[in-house]
Amino acid sequence: MRTRAFRRTTALVAGLATVLALAACGQESDDKDSGTTTLDVTDSFPITIEHAFGKTEIKDEPKRVATWGWGSTEAAIASGVYPVAIAEQLWTVGKGNLLPWVEEAYDAKGVDHPTLLPDDGSGATVPYDEFIAAKPDLILAPYSGITEDQFKKLNEIAPTVAYPEAAWTTTWQDTIKITAKALGRSAHGDTILGDIDTFLADEAKKHPEFDGKKIAALYPAPSTLSLYTELDPRLAILTKLGFDVAPSVAKLDTSKGGFYFDMSYEKVDEIDADVVVTYFDDDTQAAAFLKDQKALAIPAVKDGGVAQVVGRTRISAVSPPTALSFQWAGGMPELIKLLAEASAK
């Protein structure tokens, strides 16, 4: 569920400006009814994508792309394809709104905003009628929670690409790679990833204090904590900055291969992280956590080693980052600043 996954203006980050710059240089289409593309195809069709539910063949270059789940919308845009229908992000920006970095991308190119496919905030209920009405020729859901039955129904509407292994565990790298390949633009996907890798490597060099520090990411609730496992992209990406996942994350994990697990406050003193990242809807909740005696049993919290991501849009920008939210000022740039402050404690 995407809501559970979260319990988990704009400034361009140096080194990543080429992602949208590339989108301005390619071949454009003025036929908005058939979707808008801004970068040329680099691969030959047909293209076959293997995933958890088998294989999907994409016979021709897709013209009307729909996305479901998280990250594939941004990966498609950065690869030069503007989807005609995308999943509504109710939890983050509310009904009828686009994520700020997505809206900016459409507006910057003068592309009509996409149809928003209704979602209750969890991604658990798939709006098949709305998918049909959008007339897609490709459905991208590489980082989603669709079931095999849902995949089969979507695949009857249009060729559908699911996640490689398990729901909500696709890495941000694979989300970009799979999306770019499905669109016939693998080379552009490689460019996007190269720019992101350069950005992260540069940030790691700027912050040698991150190297070897143990880190954990958690979503606090009044009576339990949700800890993210190494399978979850929002935690895995922090290792690119030099952090090591705290050994206690694997030791305490009860998820049996999931992206998060719940634990009671009775055992939080076993979280052996030097730095913890927490996620809160508002400043009041974030401030209360730092004074909560239950939370202060976590060594890093007691020592002040806490990077608090506050606000649903900011949480979404790093949960996990996408091909476009890496560039957003309130996304990774802000989180890196918070990590530096927490590491100094």
3-state SS record for 190-248? HHHHHHHHHHHHHHHHHCHHHCCCEEEEEEECCCEEEEECCCCHHHHHHHHHCCEECHH
Residues 53, 136, single domain; the answer is: yes
CATH of the domain at 124: 3.40.50.1980
What's the domain count of the chain? 2
Residues 136, 14, single domain; the answer is: yes
Residues 19, 118, single domain; the answer is: yes
Residue pair 8/258 in contact (Cβ under 8 Å)? The answer is no
What residues pair up with 67 in beta bridges, in sequence order?
140
Q: What is the pLDDT along the chain (345 residues), one digit of tens a residue?
A: 344 444 332 333 333 333 333 333 333 333 444 689 999 999 999 999 999 999 999 999 999 999 999 999 999 999 999 999 999 999 999 999 999 999 999 999 999 999 999 998 778 899 999 999 999 999 999 999 999 999 999 999 999 999 999 998 898 999 999 999 999 999 999 999 999 999 999 999 999 999 999 999 999 998 999 999 998 888 889 999 999 999 999 999 999 988 899 999 999 999 999 999 999 999 999 999 999 999 999 999 999 999 999 999 999 999 888 999 988 999 999 999 999 999 998
Residues 165, 81, single domain; the answer is: yes
| Amino acid in position 79 | S
Residue pair 5/259 in contact (Cβ under 8 Å)? The answer is yes
Which residues span the domain enclosing 324? Answer: 207-343
Residues 135, 212, single domain; the answer is: no
CA–CA separation, 149 and 154 (whole Å): 9
Residues 222, 185, single domain; the answer is: no
Residues 145, 212, single domain; the answer is: no
pTM value is 0.83
- Per-residue DSSP letter, 337: H
Relative to beta strand 54-58, strand 47-51 is antiparallel
Distant-in-sequence, close-in-space partners of 55: CB < 8 Å, separation ≥ 6: 48, 49
